[in-house]
Amino acid sequence: MGNVQPRWFSARPNGAVRDFFDLFEEASDALSDIARELPRTTGPLPQSDVDREVAESRERLRRARAGDWRPYEERLRSLGATYARAGMAFSAWHSISYRFYESMVTRAVAAFAGEPARLTQVLLVVGEYTERSLSIIADHYYAAKDKLQREAAARIEILSTTGHEFAAASGDTDTQRLLGLVARRLGEVIGDGCAVRLISDDGAWLEPSRSFYHRDLASRDLANRVLATERQRVGEGLAGRVAATGEPVLIPRIDTEQLLAATAPQFGAMLRQLGVTSALAIPLRSRGRTIGAISLLRTRPDDPYTLEDQYLAQDLADRAGLAIDNAVLVGTLEQRVAERTAALETSNRELEAFSYSVSHDLRTPLRAIDGFSRALLADFDHKLDERGRHYLHRTRSATQRMSALIDDLLELARITRLAIRREPVDLSAIANDVIADLRRRDPARTVWVHIAAGLVAFADARLVHIVIENLLGNAWKFTAKHERAEIWFDAVGPTFHVRDTGVGFDMTYAEKLFSPFQRLHAARDYDGTGVGLAIVHRIVGHHGGRIWAEAEVDKGATFFFTLGDPA
């Protein structure tokens, strides 16, 4: 357009154009008020000095009046792009333009109400000026929008690709290798150089790291020689400040002295040699905490870091932080697993030694007590009164009960060390065998037993036999004092249950059932060691299943159990 008036101006009478500019100048104060209201009426806009903007606007108006429209059009192009980047909806420009048009029309009518022809020409100029302005803004607004969308798509692609790469590398326990990968990717995407360092366990230092990446190999080697050996105190220098506050620091343009003033002393000479012209430091975060800092630098004076660079770097850093944190956790977990495995192996050896001691050393005095008691009864029965024989019988009973208790404790300890060998097991057949054995041992009892046919589980046959033997044995025992003793063994889906009409128990104490030696009934009323249900609980848990009970005092009990996922 240059110094030539726009075609739509040149097509109007010179008097109408002069009238337009006169009205424009008279309306400048009102237009300044509109400009001041923009942030309140159109949403988030770039911060600016409104008075300076108004002064510059008047200068552009003066030059346009003289025929130089370049500042006017350049400003409109700039506004279109600026407000597109700020996220302002284009509909806001219609509101702004209408306010301008309305103000100018009102002034034109007031000035030329008695001159219809003059008023018509001025209003045509006002309308064409408004339309032309809005058209220029629209062209550059939408061009900027398209560019932003392309950049956003590219950014999403970068974040997706790099995020997947970081996630895939997080199962590598070589944390330094992962730090190097993160530095390389951020250096390639955002440039020119990048270093990634983690905060020490005590939170006081940024640890040394050979993660520095730079496109120039000499610069890379120079920085890594320093960063690989030097710690940086948290709170000191750009990266230290970021590590302390968790907030990014952006210095778009930085001279040597400013850089040295902002840098930890041990890194000053290195940065001077690198020729840093722009600096950016961002926090490395994971799970709501800062775990390190990323330092970015550029050595191109004409290409400073921007807020867009900071936002992209932070997005990439957040993905990298989670990956690095996971890698550290994996490494720590592997170490803990190794330590616990070693401790478990030691514990198992100690347990085996203890079991051997129990099996041999403790049984020896028990056998001696039982043997001598039996000998006394056999050889001196005629010299003992009723009370003496009663004491010896009680002694033998106690030693036999303790022997049974030792057997149960050894069984409880042994179960956790057994490997599960799953196979199809006929639980109905096991239950029938257990009941048959109970009837042989207690032929005087009459018990109605109902065992469902076809109950099958994919489990360890040896261990499941112990479960059924204990549960049916308890049902048999605790129905002994009831006139009609009845027992059921059945299943609903994967849940098996043993139900009886026995003594039951108070559900208030149900949590004690599966702990060793926790008896809900007196030993004098019902024999047993108090370990059986603990063994059952251990076996069921070893299969990945669970066991629970429901009962009511003097109305029986039901024990439910599952045996885990056969897969």
Distance CA 373, CA 196 (A): 79
Residue of 237, 299, 297 lying closest to 267 (CA atoms): 237
| pTM exceeding 0.85 | no
Instruction: Name the token pair of 448.
Output: 């109605």
Predicted pLDDT of residue 246: 95
Predicted pLDDT of residue 166: 76
Checking if the pLDDT of 379 tops 60, the result is yes
Predicted pLDDT of residue 5: 63
Residue-wise pLDDT for 505-549, tens only, equals 888 877 777 766 555 554 455 555 567 788 888 889 888 999 999
Region of poorest pLDDT, from 24-28, 140-144, 153-157, 212-216: 153-157
Predicted pLDDT of residue 46: 47
Predicted pLDDT of residue 45: 44
From the candidate CATH numbers 3.30.70.260, 3.30.450.40, 3.40.50.2000, 3.20.20.10, the one assigned to the domain spanning 171-319: 3.30.450.40
**What is the 8-class DSSP label of residue 360?**
I
CATH architecture of 419-561: 2-Layer Sandwich (3.30)
Checking if the pLDDT of 41 tops 70, the result is no
In this structure, the strands spanning 249-251 and 232-233 are unpaired
Distance CA 282, CA 243 (A): 8
Residue of 92, 120, 109 lying closest to 23 (CA atoms): 109
For residue 135, how many other CB atoms are within 10 A of its CB? 10
Checking if the pLDDT of 13 tops 60, the result is yes
Residue of 377, 370, 375 lying closest to 396 (CA atoms): 370
Checking if the pLDDT of 211 tops 70, the result is yes
Predicted pLDDT of residue 550: 92
Predicted pLDDT of residue 354: 63
**Which DSSP string do the residues of 264-308 spell out, in sequence order?**
-GGGHHHHHHHT--EEEEEEEEETTEEEEEEEEEE--TTS---HH
Burial of 20 (0-12, 13-18, 19+ CB in 10 A): buried
Distance CA 230, CA 232 (A): 7
Model confidence band, residue 383 (pLDDT cutoffs 50, 70, 90): confident
Reported CATH class of domain 7-150: mainly alpha
Query: What mean pLDDT, rounded, does the chain reach?
Result: 81
Model confidence band, residue 408 (pLDDT cutoffs 50, 70, 90): low
Which has more pLDDT, 547 or 363?
A: 547
Model confidence band, residue 371 (pLDDT cutoffs 50, 70, 90): confident
Residue-wise pLDDT for 293-314, tens only, equals 999 999 888 889 988 889 888 9
Phi, psi of 295 (to 5 degrees): -110, 125
Based on its alpha-carbon atoms, the radius of gyration of the chain, rounded to whole angstroms, reads: 44
Share of the chain above pLDDT 70, in %: 81
Residue-wise pLDDT for 237-255, tens only, equals 999 999 999 999 999 998 8
Region of poorest pLDDT, from 255-264, 281-290, 406-415, 490-499: 406-415
Phi, psi of 281 (to 5 degrees): -125, 135
Residue-wise pLDDT for 312-353, tens only, equals 889 889 888 888 888 877 767 666 777 777 777 776 666 666
Predicted pLDDT of residue 2: 44
Q: Break the chain into its structural domains and give their ranges.
A: 7-150, 171-319, 419-561
Predicted pLDDT of residue 44: 45
